[in-house]
Amino acid sequence: MKQKKKMTSTGFLLLITIVLFFVMYAAGMVIFADKGFAKPQMFLNLFVSNAGLLVISCGLTIVMITGGIDISVGSVTALVCMVMADLMENKGVSAYVAVLAALLIGLAFGIVQGFLVTYMGIQPFIVTLAGMFFGRGMTAIISTDMISIKNEVFLKWANYRFYMPFGSTNKKGKFIPAYIPPTVVIAIIVVLIIAVLLKYFKFGRKLYAIGGNRQSALMMGKTMFRAYVLDGFLAGLGGFLFCLNSCAGFVEQAKGLEMDAISSAVIGGTLLSGGVGTPIGSLFGVLIKGTISSLITAQGTLSSWWVRIVLSALLCFFIVIQSVLASAKKKK
């Protein structure tokens, strides 16, 4: 019966997120139809622009389900982009080796931070705060200047397109098919894998057990460590996808990305206290963030800072809903 209540809370939070996304996007299609908001490519651009964020949000979802947090992912992303750019442009390393380096960087962050949180008993916020400063500092040590990536193989990956059988027509009546790059395919595959992992595998059940009742979860140690390792790996992978979009590395890159990932997870129904959350919810949280950005861009006169303002308002709204649900659950 207890599990059923938890699933009901999860489903309710996810339903609110999905309905909110479709209402916001439908409003955009009506209000900004003349600016192409109703075109299929505009919708797909939500995935194109946020593929890296989506993968990183899945990692945040995993650690937040355990009741933890990771605020280092933005700095890890910046470090990954800078290392890849430096290796390919200044060291003459192949794109394949650079990608391997990106994944290893994320994995290293996950292992170190997971060890400190799990086996040393240090608070996740403090550990990942140190990771955030370390990652950003290492990025600056490599180079304070922007390094543009001109590696032919990497640019080929970045510019590759999967064309859809649907699309739109331009003013001359020419059909233009919609497309997605490989980054979107990778991000969607990651979301599906994590969703299956959390729902059907013992590892996922242990994660929810830790978040739901940390005191009685005897398996907490290894499972929490693995959660942070997986989170770190996804941060490295997300950084690689982010780099495919920017094709450059610079110190200020991905600043605030950790807050975008956390807010996307929370808006997607992940409880800050742990025990509840799904990568599908985080997917819709990312889409909501992307929709807000697209609406403000289409409006034309508002500052880009309004994206942060609206996101913070939504974050407060969902935290209040979570608190109400938690209080109702305790009374029952």
Per-10-residue mean pLDDT, the chain, length 332: 51 87 93 85 94 96 93 97 96 96 97 94 95 96 95 96 88 87 97 95 88 57 91 97 95 92 92 87 94 88 82 86 73 66
Number of C-alpha atoms within 13 angstroms, CB side, residue 13? 35
Give me the torsion for CA of 192, 198, 202, 203, rounded to 10°.
Answer: 100
pTM, full prediction? 0.92
- Could you tell me the CA-to-CA distances from 95 to 153, 188, 233, 251, 290 in Å, in that order? 6, 23, 18, 21, 29
Written as six digits, the tokens of 158 are 């970045």
Taking Cα atoms as reference points, which of 18, 6, 50, 42 lies closest to residue 297?
A: 42
102's CB contacts (< 8 A; 6+ apart) are: 80, 83, 84, 236, 237, 239, 240, 243
312 within 8 A of 46, measured Cβ to Cβ: no
What pLDDT score does 217 carry? 47
Which element (helix H / strand E) includes 134? Answer: helix 124-142
Taking Cα atoms as reference points, which of 202, 71, 51 lies closest to residue 125?
A: 71
Instruction: Calculate Rg over the CA atoms of the chain.
Output: 20
Written as six digits, the tokens of 213 are 């009742």
User: 3-state class of 275 per DSSP?
Assistant: coil
**Crossing angle of the two packed helices 305-331 and 279-299, in degrees rounded to 10:** 150
Tokens 């059988």 appear where?
A: 165
User: 3-state class of 254 per DSSP?
Assistant: coil
Which element (helix H / strand E) includes 65? Answer: helix 40-65
Region of residue 233 (phi > 0: left; psi between -120 and 50: alpha; otherwise: beta): alpha
